[in-house]
Amino acid sequence: MADIDQIKIVALGPDDAIAGLALSAEAHWNQNEADWRYFLSKGTVFGVRDKGGRLIATAALLPYSSGNAWISMVLVTESWRRRGLATKLVDTCLDTATKLGLTAWLDATSAGAAVYGPLGFSPTIQLRRLRLEPGSTSAGAAPLPSGHLTEFITCDISAMGFDRRDLLRELEGRPGSRLVSSGDAMALIRDGRTARHIGPLFADSPVRALAMVGDIAALETGPLLIDAVANQDAFLKGLTQMGWTIERPFQRMRFGRATNPPAELPFAVAGPEYG
């Protein structure tokens, strides 16, 4: 077994997008090539290669505004797991964040939360990833009106406590993405590697949030994913009654000083890779 103390951690570049995608596909994650290219161009992605030059592990630090950053894409190929590579890469992200004066956030799986807690991360909100398969709802609904990106960004700032307008502009502008509105609810739908993703989703009430999800599902023909805020009990219960199934929980965690608390929680988030 190789001594990971001798492993060299390097900063990755745009040419590593396909290798990164292979890692996330191996883990059955939903990120696509566009996601990897965004992280590699807007954030700092650390990686480890084996002796043959193959990318075997990654972790990314994506800066936002007001001294905040997101850690994600923490991946290790199967044959190299349980050797401490993920911890070393997250430590590298944390060291970088600390030097830059950034509060670091991440959305952890149950296994990941057990690792990140001892590193100094504190739990905040919980999320639930749900999936809807094709045919789980009736199709044929009228197209939803387009939403206004400026208003959507304002809602996101209120929900996050900091500004992510560059990310939202990127996601909304991708081929296949749709920002939709029903007047008192707004949501972003975008492509993933295996399923379309709904989120962030903002609404005035659980009823309107559920109606928005139902309208979206009626217009989509493939599988859908949504990362719902667990505190939104009525919304989460309504999704399961509509045929959505819970795949896994995520625990949102913070490392560093507390920042501006969210004024109002969303009903669904942009995804564990983005927060």
Q: What is the pLDDT of residue 264?
A: 86
Domain pair 4-125 / 128-250, same fold: yes
- Which DSSP string do the residues of 200-265 spell out, in sequence order? EEEESSHHHHHHHHHHHHHH--S-EEEEEETT-HHHHHHHHHTT-EEEEEEEEEEESS--PPPSS-
- DSSP bridge pairs for 249: 128
Q: What is the pLDDT of residue 1?
A: 44
Q: How far apart are CA 70 and CA 93, in angstroms?
A: 10
Residues written for the chain: 275
CATH fold for domain 4-125: Aminopeptidase (3.40.630)
Phi/psi at 27 (5° precision): -85, 0
Which of helix, strand or coil describes residue 160?
Answer: helix
CATH 3.40.630.30 fits 128-250, yes or no: yes
Q: What is the pLDDT of residue 2?
A: 54
In 10 A of CB 264, how many CB atoms?
A: 9
Would you list the domain boundaries of the chain?
4-125, 128-250
Strands 122-132 and 103-108: unpaired
* Ordered per-residue pLDDT tens for the chain, 275 residues: 456 667 899 999 999 999 999 999 999 999 999 999 999 999 999 999 999 999 999 999 999 999 999 999 999 999 999 899 999 999 999 999 999 999 999 999 988 898 899 999 999 999 999 999 987 655 556 789 999 999 999 999 999 999 999 999 999 999 999 999 987 999 999 999 999 999 999 999 999 999 999 999 999 999 999 999 999 999 999 999 999 999 999 999 999 887 777 778 999 999 999 99
Q: How far apart are CA 29 and CA 45, in angstroms?
A: 17
Residue 82 neighbours by CB under 8 Å, 6+ apart: none
Q: How do residues 128-156 score in pLDDT, each as one tens digit? A: 999 999 876 555 567 899 999 999 999 99
